[in-house]
Amino acid sequence: MQCDDLFSPSREGSLTAGVDEVGRGPLAGDVVTAAVILDPDQPIDGLNDSKKLSEKKRELLFDEIKQKSLSWAIGRASVEEIDQLNILQATMLAMTRAVEALPIQPDRVLVDGNRTPVWRYQSEAIIKGDGKVAEISAASILAKVTRDRELVELDKRHPEYGFAGHKGYPTKKHLDAIAEHGVLIEHRRSFGPVKRALESS
């Protein structure tokens, strides 16, 4: 899918930011969000839902998005905030942080999913927006590459858990590693498998 196949509302003259998150389901690490305002004069070919792109393609687009966008920013909520607030509210917080960190503020915001944060921006939630709206696709790529890189770094510190492979998701390998080696500070203690591991230890 090329950029021209996606709806890019910034071309209508308003500054529209796309927002997406990565990391709601994993048992470890921050939830990471990104906000992007694309430049209609510098189209980016190949934008799509980050999950449908190869790692190599995401890495290439990651740099191109940062270079060509009018404005971009990363937001996050920590493991502690996820455990304190719950993952949904932490995700909304991370999205708000990403948009507020944009060097150029948007006229409106399009958010991937079925809800938007409670904030001051004119906004709309778009289900599967990362495959429909160029700005959201770009945000999904920035968020995923950012978080994936952080989990690769975590893997270097704790190779026995296999974070570089599963990126914190509850795979059998990850659950077996938690059972054998215990819970790390990077694990989300409010998530069921981690909570059960703590209770049984």
pLDDT grade for 8, boundaries at 50, 70 and 90 = low
Asked whether the predicted pLDDT for residue 27 surpasses 70, the reply is yes
Q: Give the pLDDT confidence of 135-193 residue by residue, as tens digits.
A: 999 999 999 999 999 999 999 999 999 999 999 999 999 999 999 999 999 999 999 99
> What pLDDT does residue 95 have?
98
> What pLDDT does residue 140 have?
97
> Would the annotation count 153 as a binding residue?
no
Alpha helices in the chain (DSSP H): 55-68, 79-85, 87-100, 134-157, 163-166, 172-181, 192-200
The Cα 62–Cα 175 span in angstroms is 31
Residue 64 has which token pair?
């191109």
> What pLDDT does residue 6 have?
61
> Would the annotation count 30 as a binding residue?
no
Asked whether the predicted pLDDT for residue 42 surpasses 80, the reply is yes
> Would the annotation count 81 as a binding residue?
no
Domains identified in the chain and CATH numbers? 16-200 (3.30.420.10)
Cα R_g (the chain), whole angstroms: 17
Nearest partner of 24 among 197, 190, 198, judged by Cα: 190
Following CA atoms 168, 171, 175, 176 in sequence, which dihedral angle do they give, to the nearest 10 degrees?
A: -120
> What pLDDT does residue 2 have?
38
pLDDT grade for 97, boundaries at 50, 70 and 90 = very high
